[in-house]
Amino acid sequence: MAPTTFASFSRLAAWALGPCVPAWAVLLILALTERLSWTATLVSGAAVFVMMTVLVLTRLADFDLLIDYAERMLADPDAPAPQLQRSATVRRLLAAITALRKLWTERRDEAGALAKSRQNILDSLPDPLFILDHRRRIVSTNGAARELFEMERAVGPLVGRDLAGIIRDPKVLEAADGALGQSKKSEAEFTLPSPVERTFIAAVVPLSSSAQDGPAALVLLHDQTDRLKMDQMRADFVANASHELRTPLASVLGFIETLLGPAKDDEKARNDFLPIMLTQAERMKRLIDDLLSLSRIELHEHTRPTEAVDVIPTLRNVVELIEKQAADNKVAITVKAAPDLPRAIADANELYQVFFNLLSNAVKYGGDKGVDIEVAASPSRPNMMPGRGPSLRIAVRDYGEGIPREHLARLTERFYRVDNARSRQLGGTGLGLAIVKHITIRHRGALIIDSEIGKGSTFAVYLPIAG
């Protein structure tokens, strides 16, 4: 229904005045020439005005409905269309407005879907990304950027802020300004300090956009932390390996020079030096053997073993080999295996190496109290290898000195030792546990170390069960 206020009626009446004027002019002439009485003239004039008002009212009511509809559409694009009957022209206008609205709604939905799919693409990128406007303000980001800055570093919402409020490194800001001012593509390395230090390369690319608030440059961050860590580890490894070899080599060379020079004919010196030279040469051999083992395991770490192996015979072979050394340390080794122990998916040779390294460590570092070393093999509780199915647990337990808690996490690093001198004196290479760790990784298993000072240590290996 059209608005029925006094204001709209008076507006309608004013609209009706115009069309009345010609009729009233004719009536006036008739009255002046006395062809019509003044009473009849007034009555006719009023009748014309009423008729015109009614006529305009019916047409204008539809226009009012249309205006009302357009106003409602501004607030609610899905507002229902009014029912118009009186005017065909207004009905056509309404049909045109409705068609326009449909087109506009479709376009709006299309634009919304396009923006959403663009955001999905950005969010699926693993690297953090920022899109900047001409004034270096962030107009868009992706999930990785929000995770890195909003969640990890709690810097607050990113969109709308100057890039300088998020990344303060002058090299990155210079690169961004270069892309915005001179359309220059560039890269800058920077480090984010807390909570965990991470190094990134920011690749800045200019985008062509004429709108002031539109996208003008893209900043993509590539995390370099792991690569730098790997480079450092590689450099450390070469330095460590050379250092480990240099000491025994220098000692052997020294003895050879002495035996060729001043102690040429000294039989006592020869008898004293040769066993030491042998020990040093054996140390170098062990080191080279361990280095080769490690690189061999790493080389095929991605291909997991496929054989079903009964671990007990392998375990017994190792125990047999090590028993003499254990007896020298006044300690015995007991093996407890659960009945009907399932077989493991494993490489028997590598398992041999795992058991050998763990048992010789237990004898070396855990045998000094004379309490037996226990080896236990049993199916593990299902949750010990999360997401990897049932497993077999082979644990080597000693009652030796134990390992301080702060060293536990680093024990499987190459050349990491709790006590360097002691390890070397006992013939250790510092690579035994690194080899164990890499073999368990290749087996898609796990190594869990538990230790308490003064009470001893447990090294538990988990292997997937065959079948």
- Residue ranges binding ligand ADP (CB under 6 A): 357, 361-362, 365-366, 398, 400-401, 403, 411, 417-419, 423, 428-434, 457
The total of other beta-carbon atoms located within 10 Å of residue 303's CB is 9
Q: How far is the CB of 434 from ligand ADP (least distance, A)?
A: 6
| Token pair in block for residue 272 | 């004293």
Amino acid at 57: L
Q: How far is the CB of 451 from ligand ADP (least distance, A)?
A: 7
Q: How far is the CB of 361 from ligand ADP (least distance, A)?
A: 3
Q: How far is the CB of 403 from ligand ADP (least distance, A)?
A: 5
Which of residues 41 and 293 has its CB atom nearest to ligand ADP in the complex? 293
Which of residues 432 and 464 has its CB atom nearest to ligand ADP in the complex? 432
Output 418-425 pairs: Cβ under 8 A, ≥24 positions apart: 424/283
Beta-bridge mates of residue 202: 188, 221
Type and span of the H or E element at 464: strand 456-464
Which of residues 139 and 371 has its CB atom nearest to ligand ADP in the complex? 371
Q: How far is the CB of 293 from ligand ADP (least distance, A)?
A: 12
Q: How far is the CB of 414 from ligand ADP (least distance, A)?
A: 8
Which of residues 288 and 418 has its CB atom nearest to ligand ADP in the complex? 418
Q: Which residues of 64-86 are buried (b: 16+ CB within 10 A; e: fewer)?
A: bbbeebeeebeeeeeeeebebee
Which of residues 454 and 467 has its CB atom nearest to ligand ADP in the complex? 454
Q: How far is the CB of 219 from ligand ADP (least distance, A)?
A: 44
| Token pair in block for residue 155 | 């810097």
Which of residues 346 and 431 has its CB atom nearest to ligand ADP in the complex? 431
What's the number of CA atoms in the CB half-sphere (13 Å) around residue 7? 2
**Cα gap 462→362, rounded to integer Å:** 18
The total number of residues shown for the chain amounts to: 467
- DSSP for 22-47, please give it: HHHHHHHHHHHTTSS-HHHHHHHHHH
**Cα gap 61→6, rounded to integer Å:** 14
Query: Contact, 104 vs 79, CB < 8 A?
Result: no
Beta-bridge mates of residue 396: 375, 459
Which of residues 12 and 431 has its CB atom nearest to ligand ADP in the complex? 431
Q: How far is the CB of 251 from ligand ADP (least distance, A)?
A: 18
**CA 244 to chain CA mean position, Å:** 38
**Cα gap 211→133, rounded to integer Å:** 9
Which of residues 289 and 307 has its CB atom nearest to ligand ADP in the complex? 289
Which of residues 69 and 459 has its CB atom nearest to ligand ADP in the complex? 459
